[in-house]
Chain A
Amino acid sequence: NAGVTQTPKFQVLKTGQSMTLQCAQDMNHNSMYWYRQDPGMGLRLIYYSASEGTTDKGEVPNGYNVSRLNKREFSLRLESAAPSQTSVYFCASSDPQETQYFGPGTRLLVL
């Protein structure tokens, strides 16, 4: 079992560029999440998906879009990157007991 995988591990973008962060889980979990983690701020929820075909906004959704492609995959898209989106992005999935399992993260730098 790979658990939760994320690609890429690291990315540098210029302001205004777009990109998609990929996430996949092989634990057959229904719920998946995207977080960003910034120094001193902890984990902040961007979007989540309670099941295939549904997505909902979290605490900080502005500037992001998501797609729950199927039960395994949940992608996060930045349409026009801004320096304020420089962060570490984590994808997670949760089991029926609501324990969240995290991927290794994507470090994004927007210049």
Chain B
Amino acid sequence: EVQLVESGGGLVQPGGSLRLSCAASGFTFSTSNMNWVRQAPGQGLEWVSYMTSTNSKIYYADSVKGRFTISRDNAKNSLYLQMNSLRAEDTAVYYCAREGLSGHFGADYWGQGTLVTVSS
């Protein structure tokens, strides 16, 4: 069974940093491309970042470019999101999501999410 478990969320002050983790199991993580997607409270879904299995391609939404960094450790079956210079508008539930077989970012499995709150 595919499982994605996010962790690392919490309360952080504006301008602060946070590192999210996503632990993957039940599939071959090392050959899977991965996304981070977020959802602000009461709002819709917003794609944040994407990374291929071999780190060869990395993409970011304009809203986080230069502040967030996606990375992975295939030996640990883990995906990460380093978030710096956090703003109030970054407050959201952050999901990691596996790209499906047809590619082009679309996800077939999602984790349960971890809540990030940016507030003083």
Answer whether A and B are interacting partners: no
